[in-house]
Amino acid sequence: MMQRELSDAELLALDLDLFSTDCERPELCEGDAGHTSNRSTESCCTGQGTAEVTCSANEQSSNQQNVSEQESDPLCEGSSTKRRKWDARIPLERFGRKYLSVTDLSRQAWCEQQVVYGMELPHIQQLRDEVPVVKAGSCLHLARELEVQDVVPINVESREDNWAVKMLNLLSMIQFLQAGELVRELPVFGELEGIFVVGVVDELCYNSKGELELRELKTRGQRTYPSAAQKRSHHLQVSIYKLLFEAMIKGQLNKDTITHHLHLRTEQPLGSEILVHAQKVGFTINTFGDLLDLMLLNLTYADIPSVDTMKIEYCYQADASVIGTEVVSFEEEWVKSELKHYSSFWKGQREATGVDIEEAWKCRSCDFADICEWRQSKAEEATQKNRANQCK
């Protein structure tokens, strides 16, 4: 209900471009079941269950896997007018999450309350992921991935298999990077502020100076750059990728961190298709623990440099033409303080917050605007302030 909660000037004056012009990659591509792929040399595999390797089926499959992996535990009773049940668990546990995706965190930079509603009401979030603008963005990403690597379907039989797929892909990509080649859809993961975080880097390659470059593709519905608020969220995203990737190649990731956060069993035998594929690409393993040791060893001794440059390429969806490329400078202090702030919500150290009144324009394109209690309370505040000013 829009009513007269915030002045039209506040709500309408600013240009909205969130939903109509930018296509954030669906979170699921970042998560545990995100599509991963295989070069034509068959050096890595994909965890798609029995999914068809087409653009739409791929996304659908990813959805299903992610939902089963990280079962949500919605608190919301399905109506904005009903109060949420009181729950003493921290948000991470309340939502049944063992880890966060990088996009969970970068979306928090846009509106934290929106992320929470997305988890409480996953059917609405899924509808959003199904809209043509979002799907078109996913297809463009897949097309780019297929330019350099094949996607091979592999049956997975356990949660450990799901992670094995990610790790086999990573092992292959480490080899390509060491050989000076470009990789796309590189899985990154690790612990940040006590929370396990998982992401997928769009592209890593060496530039003409021989420096390692991290590239992120953002597709847009209009041939324009995004707003400053969106850019800020994109900058946070690529900066977190850099943090995770560098911790991995510096050997800072360890076995206990992975098994503790993800509740994975090292003694779990890997599924038959995983074993066949691992053997094909030269790894002799039996259990998930074998693969974990192998991955950590390879990461520790990998001869891969740190990321020198981060770039975000904005691409027009209609014809895949490039709108422009932005170079992002890595501001470590800023990224770490943002992470500290956002993770404090997941750890139950503070309540979720919505947008500031100056950014109320974001609410106009929000799927949860009608039920948002934050927005209602801010609107009431604004109304009272206006009344007080009129009485003076």
- Quick note: the x/- pattern for ligand SF4 over 133-172, rule CB under 6 A, is ----------------------------------------
x-marked contacts with ligand SF4 along 363-382 as a string, rule CB under 6 A: x--x-xx--x-xx-------
Burial of 30 (0-12, 13-18, 19+ CB in 10 A): buried
Alpha carbons 224 and 138: distance in angstroms, whole number: 19
Structure tokens at 304: 């891969």
Least distance in Å: CB of 113 to ligand SF4? 4
Residue 279 or 377: the one with the smaller Cβ distance to ligand SF4 is 377
The token pair at 159 is: 């949660």
Nearer to ligand SF4, 200 or 372 (CB): 372
292 counts as binding ligand SF4 under rule CB under 6 A: no
Contact 237, 217 (CB under 8 A): no
**CB closer to ligand SF4 out of 18 and 295:** 18
Which region, judged by CB under 6 A, interacts with ligand SF4, from 61-69, 108-116, 167-175, 218-226? Answer: 108-116
Residue 314 touches ligand SF4, criterion: CB under 6 A: no
In this chain, which of 183, 310, 354, 361 binds ligand SF4, going by CB under 6 A?
Answer: 354
* Shortest separation between residue 29's beta carbon and ligand SF4, angstroms: 22
Among 36, 113, 169, 172, binds ligand SF4 (CB under 6 A): 113
Helix, strand, coil in percent for the chain, rounding step 5: 50, 15, 35
Distances (CA, A) of 186 to 38, 103, 149, 189: 11, 15, 11, 10
Among 114, 125, 169, 268, binds ligand SF4 (CB under 6 A): 114
Do β-strands 212-220 and 22-23 pair in parallel, antiparallel, or remain unpaired? antiparallel
Q: Which is nearer to ligand SF4, 72 or 309 (CB)?
A: 72
Of 16 and 205, nearer to ligand SF4 (C-beta) is 16
Which of 102/363 has CB closer to ligand SF4? 363
Q: How many CB atoms lie within 10 A of CB 271?
A: 19
**Rg of the chain, C-alpha, whole Å:** 21
342 touches ligand SF4 by CB under 6 A: no
By CB under 6 A, tell whether 117 contacts ligand SF4.
yes
Note whether 362 binds ligand SF4 by CB under 6 A.
yes
| Contact (Cβ atoms closer than 8 angstroms) between residue 310 and residue 326 | no
Residue nearest to ligand SF4 (CB): 354
Distance CA 69, CA 33 (A): 8
Helical ranges in the chain per DSSP H: 8-12, 18-21, 55-69, 91-94, 102-110, 112-120, 122-130, 132-148, 159-178, 228-249, 255-262, 272-280, 288-301, 332-346, 373-391
Q: Which residues, 6+ apart, have CB-to-CB distance to 3 below 8 Å?
A: 379
Site residues (vs ligand SF4, CB under 6 A): 111, 113-114, 117, 354-355, 362-363, 366, 368-369, 372, 374-375
